[in-house]
Amino acid sequence: MKHRARKRFGQNFLTDEILVRQIVDAINPSSGQLIMEIGPGQAALSLPLAESGAELHLLEIDRDLATRLNSLFLTRDQVHLHIGDALKTDFAGITGGRPFRLVGNLPYNISTPLLFHVLNWNELVIDMHFMLQQEVVKRMAAEPGSKAWGRLSVMVQYHCQVTSLFSVPPEAFTPAPRVQSAIVRLVPHEQPPVEIADMESFRRLVSQAFSMRRKTIRNSLRGLVEIRAIESLGIDPGIRPESLNLAQFAALSNLT
């Protein structure tokens, strides 16, 4: 029986074979690699990934799809199926603490929290190739001073080099989403681009700054950083948070 896409899981299945090939070429899988795919769905990417000879771990939340995937890959010893919620998954537990690559057509309704979750395994992740809503990719790759620059931009760029690869139109999916999609490549930095004294303080400061992005940092960072301390870094307290670059956010965080 044909599987009906479930809204609660944010399911939109990639069906365009030309785009599938383009995505797989961008990933460039090979034998001996360990690849984790989040949300394999109907295996559009899973099949060519498996054909590369890579050790493939499929993480699927939908039990009906998992049953189909299990049957599809029954004779493929290097393909392993895991049923679970990616937002709650211990990726290191699945891969045995080995370095791995991450790929996936991420559900748009949970894409941002899922991105923050996978960054917890940055030290083990070799690279990531994700399909996301194009607006999310623009925010991830944004530059300081732009309207798209925000909490997601700062946090992702602290952890990774971000490369927007190409767009994917709605008609490439069944059912077709109402938004344009894009493929993004994330490569964790070998060394962080800036020095952070305390990661939790950095997260809190960035989050608070952009929770009131229309206000100046004099007001949005009130209670975290004194005005004199901001000025001591050569930063004007009268600017808005989107004007601060990654290094300035790090410097402000190190004062808290």
| pLDDT tens-place string over residues 70-96 | 999 999 999 999 999 999 999 999 999
Q: What is the spatial distance between Cα 90 and Cα 107, in angstroms, rounded to a whole number?
A: 18
pLDDT score for 177 = 81
pLDDT above 60 (res 6): no
| pLDDT tens-place string over residues 113-126 | 999 999 989 999 99
pLDDT above 80 (res 2): no
pLDDT above 60 (res 158): yes
pLDDT > 90: percent of the chain: 84
pLDDT score for 4 = 56
Residue 1 banded pLDDT, cuts 50, 70, 90: very low
Which carries the bigger pLDDT value, residue 39 or residue 5? Answer: 39
pLDDT score for 114 = 92
Average pLDDT rounded to a whole number, residues 246-250: 98
pLDDT above 60 (res 42): yes
Please name the residues in contact with 118: beta carbons below 8 A apart, sequence gap of 6 or more. Answer: 86, 91, 102, 125, 128
Domains of the chain, first to last: 7-188 (3.40.50.150), 199-253 (1.10.8.100)
pLDDT score for 11 = 59
Average pLDDT rounded to a whole number, residues 149-155: 97
Q: Please answer whether residues 177 and 169 qualify as being in contact, where contact means their C-beta atoms are separated by less than 8 angstroms.
A: no
Average pLDDT rounded to a whole number, residues 108-136: 93
pLDDT score for 8 = 47
Q: In the predicted model, what is the mean pLDDT of the chain?
A: 93
Long-range contact pairs involving 213-220 (C-beta distance under 8 Å, separation at least 24): 213/150, 213/240, 213/241, 213/242, 214/240, 215/240, 216/240, 217/241, 217/244, 217/252
Average pLDDT rounded to a whole number, residues 11-36: 93
Residue 44 banded pLDDT, cuts 50, 70, 90: very high
Average pLDDT rounded to a whole number, residues 198-215: 95
Long-range contact pairs involving 114-117 (C-beta distance under 8 Å, separation at least 24): 114/38, 114/86, 114/87, 115/140, 115/152, 115/156, 116/155, 117/86, 117/87
Residue 9 banded pLDDT, cuts 50, 70, 90: very low
Is the entire prediction scored with pTM above 0.85?
yes
| pLDDT tens-place string over residues 159-186 | 999 999 999 999 999 888 888 999 999 9
